[in-house]
């Protein structure tokens, strides 16, 4: 006899019928709801996400993908909506082990990869530079659209206001730059960074895409991304540059630091950066949401890859001493 219940539960039905027929008093305890399978919408969305990760992750060649998928999908799941998948998306980001990828859901929920070990950096003290030294601080930036050009233009204006024919060199202070959108930063620093290739991104297959500054714009793979409306050109191009760093520098901030690596007459001072010198690519998901996936490792202009913390040329823990030593080197 079939009762339409899960295996092992049919034996309860004759007992329930008997209690009812005999006037067994209280109503029977309701059975627990049957577990549902993952809905087609949820499954399609999750498979889409996993396919993107497998095809593009910087770690795609070192991950056991069958085991990865089995862990993320699980043995049983009754996920019905995209929001039901959030614990599984969090697990997938953790298993990628890149510490940089993150996901933004259609409801604006943000899920990040597990962060690296903690790093607490107080704001560095204000910097006072003597005559003959230029100073520019580059903080984090996350804007898009017209705000990008405005950010870059503001840096050009700061540089132009300080430039003199008798300048010994420049301090570029990147400390506590937590990242964001690197292209306005590169465009803004263009006069000091100089025209040409400044760095690159190498993918898991070893292919490198170059970036830099040219013709008043930050350049990626030969194409301009952020263009400055009223660009400034230094009175003395290719100056000596001291770059200040600390562990508060991450992601796009680290790209700025790497842009000055292997550049003639540039030297860095301070402490090592955060260790997220990798780059993310944005993937828009069908059904809503965005995956910002780590797909490549930053390189300097010579092609040397990083991927972790960027150590300064001179390690100095004290922020005041960092500035003093940078000034000393610039005057040499």
Return the sign of the alpha-carbon dihedral for residues 275, 281, 282, 285.
negative
Give how far Cα 172 sits from Cα of 27, 105, 143, 220, 259, Å.
77, 36, 21, 22, 12
A 10 A CB-CB count for 14 gives 11
Dihedral angle over CA of 290, 294, 300, 303, nearest 10: -120
**CATH code matching the domain that covers 133-278+295-331, chosen among 3.40.50.150, 3.40.50.410, 3.90.226.10, 3.40.30.10:** 3.90.226.10
Residue pLDDT, tens place only, 22-69: 334 444 455 444 446 899 999 999 999 999 999 999 999 999 999 999
Residue pLDDT, tens place only, 132-183: 999 999 999 999 999 999 999 999 999 999 999 999 999 999 999 999 999 9
- Whether 206 has a pLDDT exceeding 70, the answer reads yes
Are 135 and 243 spatial neighbours (Cβ–Cβ below 8 Å)?
no
The number of CA neighbours under 13 Å toward the Cβ of 87 is 8
The predicted pLDDT at position 224 comes to 98
Residue pLDDT, tens place only, 78-137: 899 999 999 999 999 999 999 999 999 999 999 999 988 878 888 899 999 999 999 999
The predicted pLDDT at position 294 comes to 98
pLDDT confidence tier of residue 327, bands split at 50, 70 and 90: very high
86-96 vs 65-73: helix crossing angle, rounded to 10: 150
User: What's the rounded Cα separation, in Å, for the pair 160 and 169?
Assistant: 14
């Amino acid at each position: 006899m079939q009762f339409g219940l899960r295996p092992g539960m049919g034996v309860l039905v004759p007992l329930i019928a008997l209690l009812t027929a005999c006037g067994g008093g209280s109503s029977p305890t309701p059975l627990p709801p049957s577990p549902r399978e993952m809905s087609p919408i949820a499954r399609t969305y999750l498979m889409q996400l996993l396919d993107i990760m497998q095809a593009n992750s910087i770690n795609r060649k070192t991950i056991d993908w069958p085991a990865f998928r089995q862990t993320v999908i699980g043995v049983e799941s009754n996920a019905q909506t995209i929001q039901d998948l959030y614990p599984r998306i969090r697990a997938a980001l953790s298993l990628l082990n890149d510490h940089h990828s993150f996901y933004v859901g259609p409801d604006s929920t943000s899920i990040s990869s597990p962060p690296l070990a903690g790093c607490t950096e107080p704001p560095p003290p204000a910097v006072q530079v003597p005559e003959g030294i230029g100073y520019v601080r580059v903080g984090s930036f996350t804007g898009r659209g017209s705000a990008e050009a405005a950010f870059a233009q503001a840096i050009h204006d700061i540089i132009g206001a300080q430039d003199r024919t008798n300048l010994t060199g420049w301090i570029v202070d990147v400390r506590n730059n937590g990242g964001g959108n690197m292209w306005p930063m590169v465009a803004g620093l263009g006069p000091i960074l100089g025209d040409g290739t400044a760095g690159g991104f190498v993918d898991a297959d070893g292919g490198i895409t170059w970036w830099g500054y040219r013709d008043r714009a930050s350049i990626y793979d030969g194409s301009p991304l952020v263009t400055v409306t009223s660009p400034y050109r230094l009175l003395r191009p290719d100056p000596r540059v001291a770059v200040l760093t600390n562990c508060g520098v991450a992601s796009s901030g680290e790209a700025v630091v790497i842009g000055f690596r292997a550049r003639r007459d540039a030297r860095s001072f301070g402490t090592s950066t955060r260790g997220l010198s990798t780059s993310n690519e944005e993937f828009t998901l069908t059904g809503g949401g965005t995956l910002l996936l780590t797909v490549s490792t930053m390189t300097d202009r010579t092609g040397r890859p990083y991927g972790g913390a960027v150590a300064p040329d001179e390690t100095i823990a004290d922020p005041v001493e960092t500035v003093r030593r940078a000034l000393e080197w610039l005057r040499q």
